[in-house]
Structure 1
């Protein structure tokens, strides 16, 4: 007897994977990573538990997909909204405020990034690539002499890219530890420290 070809919830399609990732993102934010179950995520996505495992082998793999999707969305949003140093501060302030609406996802990202520092961690290659892309995108976001010329004297685009990631990630870690801390003000202050004001040149 010929086995029927998998279809419906078992079909490996990008659309189905996207539905599962969205369901996982909502579940992690609502219940926390530890309390969210694959069965609950599958039910939220309208798929069986076996169907979910057809796309993602375990919860760690699904978490990595959730965080990768968030990164992709934010990189695209940044590319669309920021085309000058003057727009960077307001964009980062809004990005941080958005992250603060889902502190559990912020905490999960920090925990996974730290764990992935081990070369044998399943997400190690992803995070290495993520930081490389982030640095390149920041440096490439200063495409003309006018933008590059507004960097503080002695600061290269490559150095600024490293500092940018360090400050953004470090501020969010501090906020996860103490949610009464204002990190929106410091991130906008950092941008002002990094770039000269246009009318001062």
Structure 2
């Protein structure tokens, strides 16, 4: 078998990215069950067979869209200083404001995924468990350094920060001009964390 043409892999990567971008729009508009493979293929101007060449199923498409966003978020966290891990959530909030379609997708799919039969139910459950554990450790480190202003249990602080971010993002999707997610998250953290300690 001959070697692939020099531009073949780049073209394949480009097509895959176009498919994933189309998925964000399709899933944001109709949720997982409302979007169809036919709609996604049509939006990218390829056949359904061409779409299936890149992704085996709609569930695989959705998982890849969500995983790509998680990788971007993880990259932001990796660049943070140990003492500033909590502040990375502000950077994530800033980054999310640039992609409302993706945030809308996360909101719709996470609501649908509450039922056990949804293909991303386990992905979402694991994500929340991992985030809760991560934030609990961060708050524990901050308490150890004397930087927490409150005596609230660490697990509860983790739950509250997740709820604040998720809730603010949903409100922002309804009315972006009325809600500033990163400013509001910063205000919440200012009430919990002492920057001067």
TM bin, normalised by shorter chain, reads: 0.7 to 0.9
Aligned pairs, how many? 182
1:29–1:105 Cα contact (<8 Å) kept: yes
1:22–1:66 Cα contact (<8 Å) kept: no
Question: CA offset at residue 146 of structure 1?
Answer: 5.7
Distance 1:136 1:19, change over 3 A: farther
Once residues 159 and 151 of structure 2 are traced to their aligned partners in structure 1, the CA distance between those partners, rounded to angstroms, is 14
Distance 1:21 1:160, change over 3 A: farther
Question: CA offset at residue 175 of structure 1?
Answer: 0.3
Once residues 142 and 192 of structure 2 are traced to their aligned partners in structure 1, the CA distance between those partners, rounded to angstroms, is 16
The question of 1:162 aligning with 2:165 is answered: no
Unaligned ranges ≥5, structure 1:
9-15
Aligned structure 1 segments of 4 or more residues deviating by more than 6 angstroms: none
**Residue 66 of structure 1 corresponds to which residue in structure 2?**
65
Unaligned ranges ≥5, structure 2:
5-11
Once residues 33 and 25 of structure 1 are traced to their aligned partners in structure 2, the CA distance between those partners, rounded to angstroms, is 14
Encode CA deviations 1:24-62: one digit per residue, 9 max, x unaligned.
Answer: 34334567655861354475xxxx643532453433431
**Residue 7 of structure 2 corresponds to which residue in structure 1?**
none
Q: Given the two structures, how large is their TM-score scaled by the length of structure 2?
A: 0.74
For the aligned residue pairs, the C-alpha RMSD in angstroms reads: 3.3
Q: Given the two structures, how large is their TM-score scaled by the length of structure 1?
A: 0.72
